[in-house]
Amino acid sequence: MGQSSAAPAPETLLSGADILVHSLIRHGVEVVFAYPGGASMPIHQALTRVVGQLRTILPRHEQGGGFMAHGYARTTGKAGVCVSTSGPGATNFVTCIADAKMDSIPLVAVTGQVSTNVLGNDAFQETPMVEICRGITKHHYLLTRTEDITRVVKEAFHIATTGRPGPVLIDVCKDVQIKKVVPEWDPPMELPGYRPLRKATRAELEAVIAAIRASKKPFIYAGGGVTHSSASAELKEFAELIGAPVGLTVHGLGTFPADHYLCLQMLGMHGTVYSNYAINEADLLLALGVRFDDRVTGKLSEFAKHGKIVHVDIDKSEIHKNKFAHIPIHSDLKLVLTDLNALLKEERNADLIGGGRYPDWWRQIDAWREAEPLKFAEPEHAIIPQFAIRRLWEILRSRNQLDNTIITTGVGQHQMWAAQFFPFNRPRKWITSGGLGTMGFGLPAALGAKVAFPDNLVVDIDGDGSFLMNVQELATAYAEKIPVKVLLLNNQHLGMVVQWEDRFFGSNRGHTYLGAGEDHPPYPDFVKVAEGFGIPGRSIGDKADLDSALVELIEAPGSFVLNVHVPHQEHVLPMIPAGMTVKDIIKA
């Protein structure tokens, strides 16, 4: 183990690796998730020299480390940092980088690269990472000069965390890491075309006010941009001022309190019936920090076609990309909402304040809410996933632990049920892979979240298919003493694909069964798997055992895996089939 060291003196001759590591520290990095190899060894040697200043966590797979960085970034809003070697180590980051691009997550991925003298020669473990990642990064660098390290790191953090957040790749040649120079610690950035901060004009804001005045059925469609701009408080004030209903995307959950009267919960493919009915009938759609994703819109030509669309987004390329906006506003969302709220409070706009302007609209919405609530049928003894998730939420609520709980998920049915039946009142407590839909996300993301917030309870709600994809990170949880809890909803199938097989392919099973045969006990034995990593677990299958098992999960002093056997016949409902419309919604 290396020794703690102070920051180097300004004129000290340092290796590129040491310069890189101290640059990370200077940009406020407290933890890196790093897996070593030949092309990144100098970086790891440098990391051993800053123990006490920077924590290095060793994942058991580079993808695990990348998603730990996601968990850290998604809960803090800071850039998550992950490090790998070249070749297969670097390509194991590709999914993490693509996921960060889709979900607008600030990520700095540092990869080792072969030395400059053999670049392009197919040297051992060489891959052209910049070319591979060109379409899935916000920006990317191939570092071939040690003198450029401080500038590149400075630019990388600036780009990753400003405007629309996203991933930045820094591919560092090995000889660049070894060469010694006297660094310039605060170099000028060379980003002449990058202007991330945008502010709406007075004319644009007045157009929104006029649209609200003309509306009889407004609807606020809010997404992940609310989180990224730290605009939750402003969104709540705005919705309350005009008295409009709020529907949330999967990444918008928690940005507006789920227990608020104005909240219509999640919309889209597996959203509530009433939020989808409302957005379909609205005459004014206030789209805030969203990208009109196909999982929300279904058939684009039929989506929200009855109303005027206001679209606010920090990324100009999203405006008009999928849906034409009658009032397009390229701006930071927090600034827009702050200014709109100020305008609404002016005496001339007093007639817009409060929901009293829309009595007929709210009568209709309340009728939809009463007629079509989220619901599920409970078997007498079997545990169904929806019930298990709801009971976890209820138990945490009864213990006043909800505000200090972070939920991560894998991808599949369990993810959608968690979105439906575990309500969130605060942002950055719900961590999931949305745009890319990456299985294996939940466990490593939980580890990253727990590192960021060690005093919070962190629970990975997972499925057996997703959990197996990065199950090796249980070793990281144990060895690094990062206590996370796993609520494993084990149906022995790839549940979401099974649901589509049932609905659209006559229940013909196309390799979606994960067990070892109908006469074989549930496979694998996840409790034994967990115990092999040094982590306790428990398996249950009867509803009578659920509450005590959930309490054991919550109160376990370290990591814990609760393996809940659930039937595979359950479907996530409601459901709007892909490419269809709200008129085609499946309710049962």
Active site amino acids: 62, 124-125, 174, 496
What is the Cα–Cα distance from 293 to 295, expressed in whole angstroms? Answer: 5
Q: Is 553 helix (H, G, I), strand (E, B) or coil?
A: helix
Single-letter residue type at 223: G
**Using N-to-C axis directions, what is the helix angle for 149-161 and 16-26, rounded to 10°?**
30
The 3-state DSSP class for residue 355 equals: helix
How many other C-beta atoms lie within 10 A of the C-beta of residue 264? 26
Q: Which two tokens stand for residue 368?
A: 């939809």
Pairing of strands 80-84, 139-143: unpaired
Q: Report in angstroms the alpha-carbon separations of 103 from 1, 28, 74, 99, 219.
A: 36, 23, 10, 6, 23
CA contacts within 13 A on the Cβ side of 532: 9
Q: Round to whole Å and give the CA distance between 31 and 29.
A: 6
196, burial (CB in 10 Å: exposed 0-12, middle 13-18, buried 19+) = middle
Task: Based on DSSP, count helices (H) and strands (E) in the chain, helices before strands.
Answer: 23, 20
Query: Counting beta carbons within 10 angstroms of the beta carbon of residue 203, is it exposed (0 to 12), middle (13 to 18) or buried (19 or more)?
Result: exposed
Q: Estimate to the nearest angstrom the gap between the alpha carbon of 364 and the chain centroid.
A: 33
Strand 218-222 with 107-113, pairing = unpaired
Place of tokens 């990065």: 470
Contact 486, 443 (CB under 8 A): yes
Contact present, 408 and 449 (Cβ < 8 Å): yes
* Cα–Cα distance measured from residue 257 to residue 2, given in angstroms and rounded to the nearest whole number: 46
Pairing label, strands 405-409, 308-313: unpaired
Rounded distance, CA 422 to CA 417, Å? 8
Omega before 10 within 30 of 0, i.e. cis: no
What is the CA 295 to chain-centroid distance, rounded? 16
User: DSSP of 227-239, one letter per residue?
Assistant: HHTT-HHHHHHHH
Residues in the chain: 588
Nearest in space to 152 (alpha carbons), one of 176, 132, 127, 125: 176
User: Do the beta carbons of residue 482 and residue 476 sit within 8 Å?
Assistant: yes
Task: Using alpha carbons only, give the angle 113, 118, 120 rounded to the nearest 5 degrees.
Answer: 80
DSSP string, 312-342: EES-GGGTTTSS--SEEEES-HHHHHHHHHH
Q: Which residues contact 532 (CB under 8 A, 6 or more apart)?
A: none
Which residues are 560's β-sheet partners? 485
